[in-house]
Amino acid sequence: MRLITFTRKGAQHPEIGARLPHAGGDQILPFVDCAKLNNISNFPSGMKEFLRAGDLVMNQAKAWVKTAHTDSSSILLSAKDITYLPPILDAEKFLCVGKNYRTHLEELKRTNLIKEIPQEPTSFIKLNSCLSGHLAEVVRPKGITKLDYEPELVFVIGKRALGAKKDDAMNYVAGVTILNDLTCRDLQLREVASGSRFWTGKNIPGFGPLGPEIVTIDEIPNVYDLWMTCSVNGEERMRVNTSDQIWKISDILEHFSRFIPIEPGDMFSTGAPGGVAVGKDNAADLYLKPGDVVECSIDGLSTLSTTIVDEA
């Protein structure tokens, strides 16, 4: 199932539903309308609440999706009539694990963006205020010349985890989505030099395109054998398999849930693969510019598209 958060054209209130891939154009199944058709009251209206409700609600949504083109065809929306929002707007914790792909570590070492290789998972916080949705326009602030792309696989937690163990980790995962962890290298290089861990260059408003959907974990045969790709204006810039990750989600969840409860709707982004602009000899030519369309994909599964625009 492809879970989304969206608004309808002309509306401002976020809703949740499912994206139904369709040859004639994607369709959207709004859960609020499904609940009304089936006389179900108090169905969750937000994604965090939906995940917190557990298997009963998840299975109800899957049943609606399965019969959508027969039982619910009258309420289906065209994807052209909605605006995609980040699948989760209000995560309590969105932790981004850094330095987690072997190929990316080599780039970071060559460009002096790291001084040593971590011996355990490390992370920084991605702020909700920087998130943007699929097909959003992201403003490159004036004075920023080194805007880089970072496609990342994100795990969305579906069940409270405290003291989780590696062998049981996947039982806490609801699904995966995509983050383009847009990074202002101008600011990042200064922050590395000063020892700052806030990562201003990753938390500028709009610099967290997320989505377009949460692909439920039952649709993914092996999360450690997915190809992450990034294309700019149709030109593929990188293609790296998730098998290149150093810390798997099992390591990450066990590490961070030792003392802190990880709640439904919390997210872990698992790091940028190798192939970002800053690691290339011609980096100046590859940094993102106004007008660029960036597509980050889990190959064959889901694609997140973003357009870069200049500050007015």
Instruction: Tell me how far apart the alpha carbons of residues 285 and 46 are, in angstroms, rounded to a whole number.
Output: 41
The pairing of beta strand 302-310 with beta strand 136-140: parallel
Q: Would the pTM count as exceeding 0.85?
A: yes
- Supply 86's token pair: 């980040």
Q: Please, what are the averages of pLDDT over each run of 10 residues along the chain (312 residues)? A: 97 97 90 96 96 97 94 92 98 91 69 66 92 98 94 97 95 98 87 71 94 97 95 96 92 96 97 88 95 96 97 89
* Cα distance between the two ends of the chain: 39
Which of 213, 152, 147, 145 has its CA nearest to residue 180? 152
Hey, what amino acid is at 79? A
The pairing of beta strand 82-85 with beta strand 2-8: antiparallel
Distance of CA 298 to CAs 121, 177, 227, 301, Å? 23, 9, 6, 5
Domains with residue ranges and CATH for the chain: 2-85 (no CATH), 94-310 (3.90.850.10)
233 within 8 A of 214, measured Cβ to Cβ: no
Q: What is the DSSP letter of 81?
A: G
The H or E element spanning position 28 is strand 27-30
Which of 203, 45, 225, 189 has its CA nearest to residue 138? 203
- Supply 146's token pair: 């080194």
